[in-house]
Amino acid sequence: MEIWQAAVDSLSKTYHEPLTDSWPILTELGVAEDFLDVYKLADDDDFWKQVSIIDHYQKIAYPAIHLGGWYDNLLKSTIENYQMMQEKTNTLQKLIIGPWTHGDFNSIAGERDFGIKASESFLNGKEDLTDLHLRWFDYWLKNKDTGIATEAPIQIFIMGKNEWRNEYEWPLARTAYTPYYLHKNGKLTRKREQIAAKTTYLHDPNHPVPTVGGQTLYHGVNTSGPTKQDLTEKRKDVLIFETDELENKLEVTGPIHAHLWVSSEASTADFTAKLIDVYPDGTTYNLTDGISRVKITESQIDTNDAGESIAKVNIDLWATSNLFLAGHKIRIEIASSNHPRFDVNWQGINQTKQTIYMSEEYPSHLVLPIIE
């Protein structure tokens, strides 16, 4: 037990070490070979199917409450489980998403306070989380009419507005999926870049962009939730694109994706995207993020004048619900690392040049789910 305790206590010291069969923390624990065997398995390997429920939802015909948070590292799976059990089983399913991190249902997450109604102790000003659970189990196990069966199947917390709202489907049927295009001058607008443009940066795996808050679950102090992004945004390997100050409030609720046209000096490259709410005083809070590792030649759609392979990269930023208030800006950060939330791509030990293209032909953009 002591060796495990020591390993966890010193875990942060190993975050910036390449993952090899001689990684100290694995060799000391005697699990290096087994761990790396599993780590190297392809996503579609039969091994994963043995422990996955993806093909077995119809066998899980039980009513369930799917409880998650916008900053929960299991948010994507929580939403997918709700959707699939709704589709595959004839049982009552509920989805509740608050402004929470993993397993922490307080009103304060990261560096933001979302108000007492966000707390598990006073959900929507009505009940605590235990009361909700008791009403659920009393209905199913004691045949008591607690009202829970007739309530809306979905309850989501809209950050920025800091209010709960009932919904009846996910994604919301009234969603207007709206592209916001990246521009050479750092703007993010609903119009495509008219002149062929590109911007480059250097990715150094030895000095990755550090994770600052977000949908994380790793050892450390205050590592998850909404956190000011000013330090990472000063880095030269982080590209920033943002809208003008919003004249009117704008709600973004639902799944979010970024589509980039890129090239890289490496044959396999990572590209990350992070959605940011920029306050009038310049404070920046992260909302959600994602990453895509792409084999450039396999994803190639064109070759530029320099003979570089251009590939299209699709980045899944999972989902969020946030009301951007008037005077705020919508920002997206583009980089090639977000560590230790995501492992570093060690294909190239030295710096590699990454290029993002912006034009009518290569319209790199962010797709936001706008709710009117």
* pLDDT tens sequence for the chain (372 residues): 576 677 777 777 777 777 776 777 777 778 888 888 888 888 889 999 888 998 899 999 999 999 999 999 999 999 999 999 999 999 999 999 999 999 999 999 999 999 999 999 999 999 999 999 999 999 999 999 999 999 999 999 999 999 999 999 999 999 999 999 999 999 999 999 999 899 999 999 989 999 999 999 887 777 899 999 999 999 999 999 999 999 999 999 999 999 999 999 888 999 999 999 999 999 999 999 999 999 887 877 888 777 778 999 999 999 999 999 999 999 999 999 999 999 898 775 679 999 999 999 999 999 999 999
Q: Residues, the chain, total?
A: 372
Question: Which domains, and CATH codes, for the chain?
Answer: 2-50 (no CATH), 53-167 (3.40.50.1820), 176-371 (2.60.120.260)
Give φ, ψ of 181 to 5 degrees.
-95, 140
Give φ, ψ of 71 to 5 degrees.
-115, 25
pLDDT at residue 366, as a whole number:
98
- Write down the pTM of the prediction: 0.94
pLDDT at residue 35, as a whole number:
85
Contact 74, 46 (CB under 8 A): no
pLDDT at residue 13, as a whole number:
73
The CA–CA distances, whole Å, from 53 to 81, 94, 98, 253 equal 9, 18, 25, 27
Nearest residue to 253 (alpha-carbon basis) of 79, 64, 93: 79
pLDDT at residue 349, as a whole number:
63
